[in-house]
Amino acid sequence: MKIGVIGLGLIGGSMAKAIKQKTEHMVFGWDQSESVRYSARLAEGVHDILEDGDPSGCDLVIIALYPSATVDYVNKFASNFKKGAMVVDCAGVKREVCQPLEAVAKDNGFIFCGAHPMAGIERSGFTYSTSALFEGATMILTPYTGTDIAPMNELSLFFKSLGFAKMQVATDAEHDQMIAYTSQLAHVVSSAYIKSELSPKFKGFSAGSFHDMTRVAKLNETMWTELFLDNNDFLANEIDDLIARLQEYSKAIRGKDSEKLKSMLKEGKEKRLAIDEVKEFE
């Protein structure tokens, strides 16, 4: 199978390396940066480079670009995709990508499926990409209603060959709502938390919790700004709900209401313990 990977940053570069090292498929990459294309060749992360990013002849195209750039790319090359080819994006939001491309895929005879690899690190770029990035990770797929199950099964088997341990299927809206809570909210909270005037004085006063809370503040602000604004409704709701819950904690603490505070803390502990019982990959 001839596979094209568009965008050779952390995710795309890791996809290309995993395909090359773990499968028998031929992988061809593209990145708008000439230096990245050169690095991909030098590191033997791809078999070759797609000329001008043209996906012609590829059986599978994996797009690892920002949401708006993904839509632009598919629209630009819509008529070049091989008939019956599978086109998959890896953007962190799905509605802004999947909805405008449904008709494009149908009109041009290729299959489009949204996907989101639940893997990453605090650094970005091809330099930090690795074929092991997806080991044990979950891949979320957001196929359109009515999509033939056969290519979805093939796609699932392909991703498992790269190291993914589980496939999760959702609608684009279900994905965006859950990701607002499980991922985006954590990045917002971490970014806000580290802005305390006390943060520069942390040395000698911190243990694991400080580092856990601030880890994801080391984000790519350009990418996350686009992801946050593309998912502004679900994310703003999660932020507002969290603020309301925090206000309840603040009220109990300021009022020295020990019974209320103990009850709230117990409830939080019990919810976390319940999560411990969930076996992710059973």
Q: What percent of the chain has pLDDT over 90?
A: 94
In the predicted model, what is the mean pLDDT of residues 272-279? 82
According to the model, what pLDDT value does residue 77 have?
98
**What region, left, alpha or beta, does residue 109 occupy, with left being phi > 0 and alpha being psi -120 to 50 degrees?**
left
Task: Identify whether the C-beta of residue 94 lies closer than 8 Å to the C-beta of residue 144.
Answer: no
At residue 281 the predicted structure's pLDDT band, cuts being 50, 70 and 90, is low
Average pLDDT over residues 135-140: 96
- Does position 12 have pLDDT exceeding 70, yes or no? yes
| Alpha-carbon dihedral sign for residues 122, 91, 96, 4 | positive
Write down which residue in 141, 170, 199 finishes a domain.
170
Q: Cβ distance 17 to 1 under 8 Å?
A: no
H helices present in 120-171, as ranges = 149-161
The H or E element spanning position 2 is strand 2-6
Predicted local confidence at residue 280, as pLDDT: 62
Domain boundary among 104, 135, 170: 170
Last residue of one domain, picked from the residues 170, 204, 228: 170
User: In which domain, by residue range, is 111 found?
Assistant: 2-170
Same domain, 17 and 131: yes
42 or 282: which carries more pLDDT confidence?
Answer: 42
Q: Tell me the pLDDT of the chain averaged across its residues.
A: 95
